[in-house]
């Protein structure tokens, strides 16, 4: 599992120069505000990523049974997380299999 480096930057703001940070600490995912970062990387969402990583559910229905959450709620959350590159949603016939791409985060504030 790879580590995700997350940063906060308003749209249009320049990023830091390469000399200011180590290459390993360069954000790979940008959030437009601390509020959006906090919403996406909430305790519940990080727990969901860990559950997907450890339990490897084959469908959203199976994940819903494991977590006690409803499928539409999971679908919305996972699509949003997929937009940030945190999960991959593999379509298998009629089912969607969630795959956690990251479970560790480093947050860089500029």
Domain 2-108, architecture per CATH = Orthogonal Bundle (1.10)
Quote the CA–CA distance of 3 and 87 in Å, as a whole number: 13
List, for residues 52-109, the tens digit of each pLDDT value: 999 999 999 999 999 999 999 999 999 999 999 999 999 988 899 999 999 999 998 7
The pLDDT score that the predictor gives to residue 73 is 97
Residue 31 β-bridge partners: 8
Task: Give the domain ranges of the chain.
Answer: 2-108
Using alpha carbons only, how large is the chain's radius of gyration in Å? 15
Q: 56-94 burial, b for 16+ CB within 10 Å, e for fewer?
A: ebebbeebbeebebeeeebbebbeebeebebbeeeeeee
The pLDDT score that the predictor gives to residue 17 is 46
**Backbone dihedral angles phi then psi of residue 8, each to the nearest 5 degrees:** -115, 125
The pLDDT score that the predictor gives to residue 109 is 77
């Amino acid at each position: 599992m790879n580590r995700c480096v997350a940063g906060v930057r308003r749209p249009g703001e320049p990023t830091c120069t390469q000399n200011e940070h180590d290459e390993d600490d360069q954000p790979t995912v940008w959030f437009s505000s601390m509020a959006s970062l906090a919403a996406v990387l909430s305790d519940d969402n990080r727990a969901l990523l860990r559950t997907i990583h450890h339990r490897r559910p084959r469908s959203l229905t199976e994940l819903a049974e494991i977590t006690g959450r409803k499928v539409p709620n999971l679908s919305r959350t996972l699509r949003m997380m997929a937009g940030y590159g945190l999960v991959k949603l593999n379509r298998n016939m009629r089912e969607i299999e969630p795959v956690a791409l990251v479970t560790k985060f480093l947050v860089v504030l500029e």
